[in-house]
Amino acid sequence: MSLTKQYFKYVSQNIFGLLGTSCYILADTYFISHAAGTSGVALLNLCLPIYNFIFAIGSMLGLGAATRYAILRAQGDERSERYFSNALLWAMVFALPFMLAGIFCPEVLLRFMGGDAEIVALGVGYARIFLLFTPFFMCNYIVAAFVRNDGDPSLAMVATLCGSLFNVVFDYIFMFPMGLGLPGAALATAVSPVLSIALCSRHFFKKSSTVRLVRQLPSPELLAQSCQLGVSGFVGEMSSGVTTTVFNLLLLRLAGNVAVAAYGVVANYALVATAIFNGVAQGAQPLVSRCYGKNDAAGTRKLLLLGSGTALALATALYAVLFGFTGPIVAVFNSENSALMAQYAFSGVRIYFLGYFFAGLNIVAAGYLGAVDRPAEASATSLSRGIVAIVACSLVLSALFGMNGVWAAFPASEAITACLTLFLLKRKKQTA
């Protein structure tokens, strides 16, 4: 199979898989909006940064360890066998604080995220359940990344989609027919990665599998080597959490819980959009790392061009759909028919999503830089878009233009990062 055909196979299957993952957040938002109205949507939006942090750690461990595994395996290095077990062990270590918070103080965490007394009372059960399942969220990233890098992207996609479908169906069953309310939504979300891991695990029993479990203690050295290549994935996931946290605080100050609920609509669709571009970057990563491990510079360049072109095409299609159907898209999560929420969300969607013309390129470039073992440059791109530029732009533009300035901070920060990204990629050509 040609490299181009392999690229489209890996990327398309990974996009579908990650879309499934993000769609269960949409399902949560839809059902919660009907069960608890604007307060429920605001609660979920305050919880999203916690999800993002959990997913970020899982992405860093999974993507970083699997990338290191793919490069070493292409070079015939037996050390590649140790990375899978080490990533799983460290996932258990990193999950422990979240589990303890879920057991002892979920209300403290919700207050820290900006929840008032009403939101905290509504969300304690929801937060406690999903925090207790943190190890499964993290391990799901790791298992899927290794299955994908071991030449089985189809199984990773099917496992992810099945987990997401379970979540969507049982969101409804647990919340309404069984009457569990918001804890039911959390339970459906928590069980879905367990199902995904179980399905992905079929790969390890195949004769073609080269991934092995190795009896070992958690190795800080292997962790550091993995995190070098996974930090772009970490910051990429964290960028959503940082953006959500900063925007929530600014919007609470500008217009209260209604504005946060409006941003909940924008943020949930943004998760889907980000999943699409992460699908391009993570789908191409095994092929890029394989070419890099074999010193195939022409192959890596070709994959970068394919990824960039795909990102631009997808951004154009995405914005056309959102611009053309903004009203109906906002109405899906506005069960109380709040005119003010609809007004805020309408302008938010149309301004915020302009940023994906730049964000798509930035995500693909950061993934490429990590896949070719350039962690410092991948981190620079990810840190710029995920923390530095977005925080600076949101503070400045919100002070100048109010709520429209908050929405405009995302495209402004991604445009600034795109300039940095192009400089880093051009510098590579000059020093090659």
| Residue 198 token pair | 């179980």
On the 0-12 / 13-18 / 19+ scale of CB atoms within 10 A, 140 is buried
pLDDT of 40 over the 90 cut: no
CB half-sphere exposure, 118, CA atoms < 13 A: 8
**Average pLDDT score over residue span 230-252:** 81
Asked if residues 72 and 155 have their Cβ atoms less than 8 Å apart, the reply is no
% residues pLDDT > 70 (the chain) = 98
Q: What is the pLDDT of residue 350?
A: 95
Cβ atoms < 10 Å from Cβ of 340: 14
Asked if residues 230 and 63 have their Cβ atoms less than 8 Å apart, the reply is yes
On the 0-12 / 13-18 / 19+ scale of CB atoms within 10 A, 426 is exposed
Cβ atoms < 10 Å from Cβ of 54: 23
- The conformation of residue 133, written as its DSSP 8-state character, comes to T
Rounded-to-integer distance, Cα 183 and Cα 125, Å? 5
Cβ atoms < 10 Å from Cβ of 1: 7
Q: What is the pLDDT of residue 428?
A: 55
pLDDT of 375 over the 70 cut: yes
Q: What is the pLDDT of residue 36?
A: 83
Q: What is the pLDDT of residue 429?
A: 45
pLDDT of 50 over the 60 cut: yes
Most confident option among 112-116, 186-190, 231-235, 413-417: 413-417
pLDDT of 430 over the 50 cut: no
Phi-psi region of 2 (alpha: psi -120 to 50; beta: other; left: phi over 0): beta
User: Which residues make Cβ contacts (< 8 Å) with residue 329, sequence separation at least 6?
Assistant: 269, 322, 349
pLDDT of 432 over the 70 cut: no
Least confident of 14-28, 43-57, 277-291: 14-28
pTM for the full predicted model? 0.76
pLDDT of 377 over the 50 cut: yes
On the 0-12 / 13-18 / 19+ scale of CB atoms within 10 A, 298 is exposed
pLDDT of 397 over the 60 cut: yes
pLDDT of 286 over the 80 cut: yes
Residues 190-216: tens digit of each pLDDT: 999 999 999 999 999 998 899 989 999
Query: Residue 432 belongs to what H/E stretch?
Result: none
SS3 97: helix
Q: What is the pLDDT of residue 282?
A: 87
Rounded-to-integer distance, Cα 191 and Cα 137, Å? 9
Q: What is the pLDDT of residue 232?
A: 73
Q: Where residue 230 falls among pLDDT bands split at 50, 70, 90?
A: confident
DSSP 205-269: GSTT-----------HHHHHHHHHHHHHHHHHHHHHHHHHHHHHHHHHHHHTHHHHHHHHHHHHH
Which of 157, 201, 166 is closest to 187 using CA atoms?
A: 166
| Residue 200 token pair | 């992905």
Which of 197, 242, 183, 231 is closest to 374 using CA atoms?
A: 231
Residues 303-329: tens digit of each pLDDT: 999 999 999 999 999 999 999 999 998
Q: So where are the chain's domains?
A: 3-431
Rounded-to-integer distance, Cα 348 and Cα 49, Å? 19
Q: What is the pLDDT of residue 58?
A: 94
Phi-psi region of 76 (alpha: psi -120 to 50; beta: other; left: phi over 0): left
**Average pLDDT score over residue span 37-51:** 82
pLDDT of 431 over the 60 cut: no
